[in-house]
A and B are shown apart, each in its own frame.
Chain A
Amino acid sequence: MEALRNAFDFSDSPRVDLVIAAMVAVALLLFPLFSPSSFAIATIIQFFIFALYGMGWNTIGGYGGQVDLGKAQYVGIGAYTTAVMLIRWDIPFWVSMPIGMFFSITWSFIIGYPLFRLKGHYFAIATIATSLVLKDLFEIWDFVGAARGLEISPIKYSPPDFLRLIFKQDIYYYYVIFGFFLLGILIINWFRRSRLGFQLRAIKDNEDVARSLGINVHLSKVKTYAIATAFVSMVGSFHACYIKNIEPEDTMSLDISILIALMAMLGGAGSLWGPIIGAGVLIPLKSYLKEWLGARGGLVGIDLIIYAAIIMVISAREPRGIWGIVERVRRRKRL
Chain B
Amino acid sequence: MPILDIRHLVKEYGGLRANDDISFTLEKGELLGVIGPNGAGKTTLFNCIAGLHPVTSGRIFFDGQDVTLKPAHEMARLGLARTFQVYTAAGDLTVVENIMVGCFLRTRSRKDARRRADGILYDLKLSDHADTLVSELPVPAQKQVTMATALGTAPRMLLLDEVAAGLNPSEIDDIMTSIRHIHNEMGITVMLIEHVMELVMNVCDRLVVLDYGHKIADGTPADIAANAEVIKAYLGERYVKEHAGELS
Q: State the A residues within 8 Å of B (CB).
A: 2, 6, 193-195, 198-199, 201-202, 204-206, 208-217, 270
Contacts and interface: CB of A to CB of B under 8 A. Distances in A.
B189 interface: no
Contact of B87 (A194, A199, A209): A209
Given A201-B101, A206-B90, A214-B102, 13 more contacts: A194-B110, A195-B107, A202-B90, A208-B72, A208-B84, A208-B87, A211-B73, A212-B72, A212-B82, A213-B81, A213-B149, A214-B73, A217-B73
Given A212-B50, A212-B82, A213-B150, A198 B101 contact: yes
13 contacts: A2-B111, A201-B90, A202-B93, A202-B101, A208-B52, A211-B71, A212-B52, A212-B72, A212-B81, A212-B150, A213-B153, A214-B77, A214-B105
B52 A198 contact: no
B91 A214 contact: no
Contact of B110 (A193, A205, A206): A193
Contacts of A202: 90, 93, 101
Contacts of B92: 201, 204-205, 270
A204 B110 CA distance: 20
A176 to B, nearest CB: 31
A215 B109 contact: no
Interface of B: 50-52, 71-73, 75-77, 81-82, 84, 87, 90-93, 97, 100-102, 104-105, 107-111, 113, 149-150, 152-153
Nearest to B154: A214
- Among A202, A204, A214, max chain B CB count under 10 A is at A214
A198 B152 CA distance: 13
A48 to B, nearest CB: 28
Contacts of B73: 211-217
A6 B111 CA distance: 10
B111 A198 contact: no
B45 to A, nearest CB: 15
Question: Nearest 3 A-B pairs (CB), nearest first?
Answer: A214-B76, A205-B90, A214-B105
Contacts of B108: 195
A206 B149 contact: no
A216 B107 CA distance: 15
Given A211-B71, A214-B76, A214-B77, A205 B93 contact: yes
A257 to B, nearest CB: 26
A194 B81 CA distance: 22
Given A2-B111, A214-B105, A209 B77 contact: no
A204 B101 CA distance: 13
B93 A195 contact: no
A214 B72 CA distance: 7
B180 to A, nearest CB: 23
Contacts of A193: 110
A2 B109 contact: yes
B244 to A, nearest CB: 39
Contacts of A199: 101, 104
A213 B104 CA distance: 9
A198 B72 contact: no
A214 B75 CA distance: 7
A2 B93 contact: no
- Identify which of B107, B110, B113 gathers the most chain A CB atoms within 10 Å of its CB: B110
Contacts of A216: 73
Nearest to A198: B101
A195 B110 contact: yes
B72 A2 contact: no
A2 B108 CA distance: 10
Contacts of A213: 73, 76, 81, 101-102, 105, 149-150, 152-153
Nearest to B46: A212
Contacts of B102: 213-214
B109 to A, nearest CB: 6
A202 B120 CA distance: 19
Contacts of A204: 92
Contact of B97 (A194, A195, A198): A198
A209 B105 CA distance: 13
Contacts of B71: 211
A209 B150 CA distance: 10
A212 B73 CA distance: 6
Nearest to A194: B110
A169 B175 CA distance: 68
A211 B72 contact: yes
Contacts of B84: 208-209, 212
A213 B72 CA distance: 8
A6 B75 CA distance: 30
A10 B84 CA distance: 34
B92 to A, nearest CB: 7
Contacts of B107: 195
Nearest to A213: B102
A201 B94 CA distance: 12
Given A212-B52, A216-B73, A2 B110 contact: yes
A195 B111 contact: no
B46 to A, nearest CB: 10
A147 B93 CA distance: 47
A192 to B, nearest CB: 11
